[in-house]
A and B are shown apart, each in its own frame.
Chain A
Amino acid sequence: MILHTLNASPGSTAFDHCLAQVAADDGLLLMGNAVYAALANAPALARLRATGARLHVLEDDARTAGVTPQMSEDVLAIDFDAFVALSEQHARQVAWF
C-alpha cells in the first residue's frame, strides 16, 4: 500500500508516470494542478478510475481552482487532517510533481 500525492496537471509527464505506478490497493491524492483530473467530464478521470486506487482530492486546492462545483463523486474531498490520517494509513508515500 502506497500513498501517491500527485501535484501535476493532466497531460504532464509527471501525471503519466504516476498513473503508470499506481496499484489497485494504493491511495491517490490529487493536489495543486492535479485537481483538474477530478472534473466529472475529464478524460483523465477515467484513467484514474481504471487504476482501482482510492481517489482523494485536497479540498482547499479544488475550491481554489473552481473544480469543486463540477467534481466527480468518485473522488473524495479531504482536508489537511484527513491528509495526515491518510499518511498514517500508508507505510510509504510518493510525491509526484
Chain B
Amino acid sequence: MASDTPKASGQAEPPRLLLVTRSPPYGSSLARSALDTALAAAAFDMAPALLFLDHGVLQLLPQQEGAASETRSHGKVLDSLPLYDIDRIYVDAAALLHFGLQDMPLPAAAEVVDSTGIRALLEGCDHILSF
C-alpha cells in the first residue's frame, strides 16, 4: 500500500509528526489508537515519532501476554514498529522512575528524555497528536 502512495511533489523532507501517548496499554483503546495512527502515518511516509509520557511508559513492559486476558498483546504491536520504519521512540525518564521501571529493557530505537528533552521534541516537530 505504501509503495502506491503518491508523494507530495517538491518536498524533500516529509512533515515531522509527533504522537504523544500517555495511557496504559490496557483498560482503554487510547494506547492502541496511538499505535494505529503511527502505522497509518508511516504508510503515508510521514515518518512519525512516538513519545511515551506518564502512564504511556507502561506500554513498553516486555513479556506482555495478551492471551492471559484474551486480548491482543500491545507489546507485539510495539515490536512491529521497526518494520514500518518507525524508529524514533522517546521515553519519559520521570515516568520510568515513578513506576520503578528505570532498569527495564527498552526497544532498540528508544531514547530516554527528561523534561527539557520533551520540550525540545514538542518544539522541533511540525504536528503533534495526543492520545
Contact = CB atoms under 8 A, between A and B. Distances in A.
Given A42-B99, A43-B98, A66 B63 contact: yes
A87 interface: no
Interface in B72-129: 73, 75, 98-104
Contacts of B26: 32-33, 64-65
B102 to A, nearest CB: 8
A46 B31 CA distance: 28
Contacts of A44: 99-100
Contact of B68 (A36, A42, A60): A60
A36 B63 contact: no
Contacts of B69: 60-61, 63-64
A39 B68 CA distance: 18
A13 interface: no
Contacts of B103: 41
A19 B65 CA distance: 28
6 contacts: A32-B27, A42-B99, A43-B98, A64-B69, A65-B24, A68-B63
Interface of A: 7, 9-11, 32-33, 36, 39-45, 59-61, 63-70
Interface of B: 24-27, 55, 58, 61-66, 68-69, 71, 73, 75, 98-104
What 3 pairs between A and B have smallest CB-CB spacing?
A41-B100, A66-B61, A63-B68
